[in-house]
Structure 1
Amino acid sequence: MNNPKPRFLQIKQYLLEEIHSGRFAVHHKIPPEEQLARDFGVSRMTANKAIRDLVQEGYLVRQPGLGTFVTDQKSESPLSEINNIAEEVRSRGHLYSNRVLLCEEVNADDEIALRLGVRVGSKVFHSIIVHRENDIAIQLENRYVNPRWVPDYLNTDFSRQTPNEVLVAACPITDLEHVVEAVLPDARSASWLETEINQPCLSMIRRTWSGDHLISYARLLHPGNRYKLRSSVRRQQNHRNQN
């Protein structure tokens, strides 16, 4: 005999179905706990648990005195860390995939040489990959790698390993640099990201080091309506008594 689904999960499933269907759009105010409790024949505490779970999972946000609203479910990445984008997508319970557009060895021009800390004309590895979440493009990764530190980079099957996984396996990342700005994509980038050329994007320049070695330089482009960056900083409090 199958156990019936707990009532709070029934409420949670109902709310998720309304959100995913678009009937509860972004910024839509969901029914209050009292109404959900009446509709499902449960206590207010049970309805509260369903809502609380969805708040913790990022689907809803509470506004004191106003109610509970559907959040903008953009993909999110921490700005102060380097995460494997495949794991990041899967951690949200979503499907990760990618499309490899280019994988080649090139001669470093002035910009790449400066960014990667090599001489102009040096051989470097170059890859361009579109990362997808639930088959929606969320990041265009244009990466250059110093072959001295990651010699097998071009031999990677990127359908099985992301560039991040390859770099971390070859050289533990000790330092990183991020530069972020809002830009409009060029026509080719917009086509790869399946977005419009007038859609603002978040552009991130990322350089990574392993000890004293500059390993990689990447340009990461995210459609602004599908992605957001987050930064958390913990400040140490000064507990010294002031006289």
Structure 2
Amino acid sequence: MASAPPLYQQIQQHLLDKIHSGDWPAHHQIPPEEQLARDFAVSRMTANKAIRDLVQQGYLTRQPGVGTFVTDRKAESSLVEVYNIAEEVRSRGHRYRSEVLTREVIEADEEVALRLGVRLGSRVFHTLIIHLENEVPIQLENRYVNPRWVPDYLDADFSRHTPNEVLVAACPITDVEHIVEAVLVDDQTAEWLSIATADPCLSMIRRTWSGEQLISYARLIHPGDRYKLRSSMRREAS
């Protein structure tokens, strides 16, 4: 028979369940250590460890003399790797869903032809998809795909598989390029993302290669208050 988890982990799981369920939203003040210690019949030191670990993991923040609060954990994506947004959302214990706005074949205009490395007027696949976390839009994905390398792209069931999953299955990604800038969006984009046109957003242009082949070009728009981008680099000791 499996042994029960340590008491501090049981407290942590209780706190995380409250956070993930939405019972305790961002900025909600959690019970003090003394109360948690009484509720779980443990020492204050054990309750302190449970809280301290969640502070280090970014779920909670302490305000000296005031209390401990649930953090506003923005969705986070790496600038140096390509992650599946559905997995990102689910890894936080949240619900993922997508809405497909457009699925079509178009002729590449000057920008798409330049970004995707095809001739002007070439036939390319185009999808426009909203990605949602707990029913809140966190990304508008405007993607163009070279049909030569992923001929079945538009046949994919995007309610079950993200474009990233479809591309990786067809052509393993070997290289990626990201360009990020702060932008304001038009009325239509603001409506899709459930924000105001005055709200700042992050725009990421992503191009992906498989070997020597340029597979996809996408413009990803994130509401600035719901998303953050991360980059890390390890330097070798000299």
| Shift in CA distance, 15/169, structure 1 to aligned 2, threshold 3 Å | closer
- Tell me the amino acid that sits aligned with residue 43 of structure 2: S
- Trace 1:17-96 onto structure 2 (pairs within 5 A): 17=18, 20-21=22-23, 25-26=26-27, 33=33, 36-37=36-37, 40-61=40-61, 68-96=68-96
CA contact (8 A) 1:12 1:54 kept: no
Does residue 1:116 correspond to 2:116, yes or no?
yes
CA–CA separation in structure 1 for the residues paired with 2:227 and 2:19: 22
Does residue 1:235 correspond to 2:235, yes or no?
yes
In structure 1, the partner of 2:172 is 172
Shift of 1:61: 3.8
- Trace 1:134-153 onto structure 2 (pairs within 5 A): 134-153=134-153
CA contact (8 A) 2:84 2:162 kept: yes
| Shift in CA distance, 232/38, structure 1 to aligned 2, threshold 3 Å | same
In structure 2, the partner of 1:155 is 155
- Tell me the amino acid that sits aligned with residue 79 of structure 1: L
Q: What percentage of residue pairs aligned between the two structures are identical?
A: 68
In structure 2, the partner of 1:107 is 107
Alignment RMSD (CA, Å): 2.8
CA contact (8 A) 2:109 2:120 kept: yes
Shift of 1:230: 1.0
- Tell me the amino acid that sits aligned with residue 145 of structure 2: V
CA–CA separation in structure 1 for the residues paired with 2:80 and 2:65: 33
In structure 1, the partner of 2:181 is 181
CA–CA separation in structure 1 for the residues paired with 2:118 and 2:187: 30
Shift of 1:49: 3.2
Unpaired runs of 5+ residues, structure 1, are 239-243
Q: Which moved more, 1:54-63 or 1:157-166?
A: 54-63
- Tell me the amino acid that sits aligned with residue 140 of structure 1: L
Shift of 1:135: 1.1
SS of residue paired to 2:90: helix
Number of corresponding residues: 234
- Tell me the amino acid that sits aligned with residue 17 of structure 1: K
For residues 114-137 of structure 1, the C-alpha deviation after alignment (integer angstroms, 9 at most, x for no partner) is 000001000000000001111111
CA contact (8 A) 1:78 1:230 kept: yes
Give me the TM-score of the superposition, normalised by structure 2: 0.86
CA contact (8 A) 2:19 2:70 kept: no
CA–CA separation in structure 2 for the residues paired with 1:89 and 1:78: 13
- Tell me the amino acid that sits aligned with residue 107 of structure 2: N
In structure 1, the partner of 2:206 is 206
Unpaired runs of 5+ residues, structure 2, are none
CA contact (8 A) 1:11 1:36 kept: no
Shift of 1:37: 3.0
Shift of 1:188: 0.7
Give me the TM-score of the superposition, normalised by structure 1: 0.85
Shift of 1:25: 4.3
CA–CA separation in structure 1 for the residues paired with 2:19 and 2:167: 41
SS of residue paired to 2:73: coil
